[in-house]
Each structure stands twice: as C-alpha cells, then as structure tokens.
C-alpha cells in the first residue's frame, strides 16, 4: 500500500473546479495530507483558463492559508497547456517565477500559439483518431513537442501523459528522467495505463499519483491511480508524493 502525503493536482473555482481554495485545503487536511497544490488550468484553456488578473488574489489567499494552517504546505501551481509544436506552453516567461509548482498537459480546448500549431497539434490529432494511417509520424511529433516543453520550461509534472494525445511513453520517460520531471498517474482519467506505467518504471522515471480533483470531496482520492501503480509494480520510493519518497529527502524539483 502507498502512503500518500501530497496531492499535487487539484482544481478550484478559478478554473472549472467546484470548490474554493479553502475547501480543497480543508479536504486535504481531513485526509491528513502534508501538501496540496492548487493547479488551475493555464491561461490559454478555452472557457476554463485561469484569468491572469486573479493571480495576485490567489497568491494572497494561499499565503494567508499557509500562515493559518502551519501543519500543511499549500503550493501555488498551474496546469499549463502545450500550445506549440516547438514546446511552447501558455505561461509567459516573466510569470514562471510566480508558481511554486508547474504542471503541463495536453488539452484539446486551447488557443494554439499560431494557426500552424493549431493544425499540427489540434486538428491533425483530431483527424488521427478517425484516420489511423497517419498516426506514426504524429506520435513522434507529439512526443517531441512535450519533450521540447520540458527542456524549455521548469516543468515539474507532466499530467495524464497519453490522454487525449498519442505519445511514445518510452521516449518521453527518458527525457523526463534527464530533467527530473515526474510523470503522472491520473486517478480521474485512468491515465497512465498499467502498460504505460511499466514502461515509465523501466526507464527510471519518477511517478506522481494525483487526484485531479474538480470537487473538494475528490481531493486526495487516488484509488484508481494506486491500482495502476500497484499492477505496474511501482515501488513507493519512486512516487514523489509518498512518505517513502519524502524520507529519501531528495527534491525532485
């Protein structure tokens, strides 16, 4: 069994979650977690993206809650979006320092960086789902785009790799090891699958299990993720949000 001490992927009303930051923090405290990250969707997410203007308010709220609850650490994070084939994500360079933790994932409902990126990243991937013939080259391009992102930005976690986009897990895991980036087993999406998790394990990648909670009652709920990790044989010390990893006193960031 895994002793989970942190949930690094939770959403609030600042994107399309149902709870406030305080609601998520209280839920995490009830589950006796030591850390929680508030990670609303990146600025380019259509409809649900974090509004830049809200950032100072969120920062202030998290600071106040950290002062109030000395027994746990609340991190200001973001689930940024891949928006360009050159690895561009939707956080401007001068805002990268605003976050304690940066997650990055592929989502379909984003404003691409350019028309060409919209075609390569969004349209071609949508077409590939119905036209299997074009998948091999696309898979390579998708994987390279994510790898470029982790080479360009201080990304800590790749969320739900393989969900909504076809990727080469082995290739990605190798790049993630070099950059000390953790690959997520998402307890809401069911990604990675056991097969993918085994590949990541064999390549030596760090893993994180996250709830991806969109309601406070889902914070810290990771059963589906545990099942995948267990079936893939991932030892607890390879999972950055377990007590065992914490005790190694390594910092993956």
Task: Return the DSSP state at 120.
Answer: I
Closest CB to Zn ion among residues 81, 169: 81
Residue 74 backbone phi and psi in degrees, to 5: -110, 125
Give the interface segment with Zn ion, choosing from 79-87, 113-121, 122-130, 137-145 (CB under 5 A): 79-87
Q: Which of 156, 207, 209, 210 is nearest to 179 (CA)?
A: 156
Q: How far is the CB of 214 from Zn ion (least distance, A)?
A: 8
Q: Return the bridge partners of 206, or none.
A: 182
Task: Return the DSSP state at 87.
Answer: -
Residue 8 backbone phi and psi in degrees, to 5: -95, 10
Closest CB to Zn ion among residues 169, 210: 210
Closest CB to Zn ion among residues 45, 148: 45
Q: Does 40 bind Zn ion (CB under 5 A)?
A: no
- Residues that contact Zn ion, how many (by CB under 5 A): 4
Q: Does 88 bind Zn ion (CB under 5 A)?
A: no
CA angle 191, 188, 56 (to 5 degrees): 110
Q: Does 100 bind Zn ion (CB under 5 A)?
A: no
Q: How far is the CB of 79 from Zn ion (least distance, A)?
A: 5
Interaction residues for Zn ion, span 207-246 (CB under 5 A): 212
Closest CB to Zn ion among residues 133, 155: 155
* Cβ-contact 21, 85 below 8 angstroms: no
Q: How far is the CB of 119 from Zn ion (least distance, A)?
A: 22
CA angle 187, 26, 190 (to 5 degrees): 5
Q: How far is the CB of 60 from Zn ion (least distance, A)?
A: 23
Q: Does 7 bind Zn ion (CB under 5 A)?
A: no
Q: How far is the CB of 83 from Zn ion (least distance, A)?
A: 14
C-alpha–C-alpha distance, residues 126 and 123, integer Å: 5
Closest CB to Zn ion among residues 23, 236: 23
Residues shown for the chain: 253
87, 105, 216, 225: which one binds Zn ion (CB under 5 A): 105
Q: How far is the CB of 163 from Zn ion (least distance, A)?
A: 8
Beta strand pairing call for 73-81 and 35-41? parallel
C-alpha–C-alpha distance, residues 153 and 83, integer Å: 13
Interaction residues for Zn ion, span 152-211 (CB under 5 A): 159
Number of H helices, E strands in the chain: 9, 7
Site of interaction with Zn ion (CB under 5 A): 79, 105, 159, 212
């Amino acid at each position: 069994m895994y002793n989970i001490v942190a949930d690094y992927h939770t959403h609030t009303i600042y994107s399309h979650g149902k709870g406030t930051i305080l609601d998520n923090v209280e839920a995490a405290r009830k589950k006796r977690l030591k850390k929680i990250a508030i990670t609303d969707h990146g600025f380019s997410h259509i409809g649900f993206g974090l509004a830049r203007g809200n950032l100072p308010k969120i920062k202030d709220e998290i600071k106040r809650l950290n002062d109030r609850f000395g027994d746990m650490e609340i991190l200001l994070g973001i689930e940024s979006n891949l928006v360009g084939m050159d690895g561009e994500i939707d956080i401007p360079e001068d805002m990268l320092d605003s976050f304690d933790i940066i997650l990055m994932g592929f989502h379909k409902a984003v404003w691409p960086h350019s028309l060409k990126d919209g075609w390569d990243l969004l349209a071609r991937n949508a077409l590939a789902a119905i036209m299997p013939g074009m998948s091999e080259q696309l898979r390579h391009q998708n994987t390279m785009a994510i790898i470029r992102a982790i080479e360009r930005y201080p990304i800590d976690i790749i969320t739900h790799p393989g969900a909504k986009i076809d990727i080469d897990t082995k290739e990605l895991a190798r790049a993630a090891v070099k950059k000390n980036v953790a690959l997520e087993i998402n307890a809401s999406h069911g990604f990675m699958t056991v097969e993918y998790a085994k590949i990541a394990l064999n390549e030596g990648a760090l893993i994180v299990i996250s709830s991806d909670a969109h309601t406070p009652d889902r914070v810290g709920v990771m059963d589906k993720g545990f099942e995948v990790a267990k079936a893939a044989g991932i030892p607890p010390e390879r999972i950055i949000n377990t007590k065992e990893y914490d005790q190694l006193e390594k910092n993956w960031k």
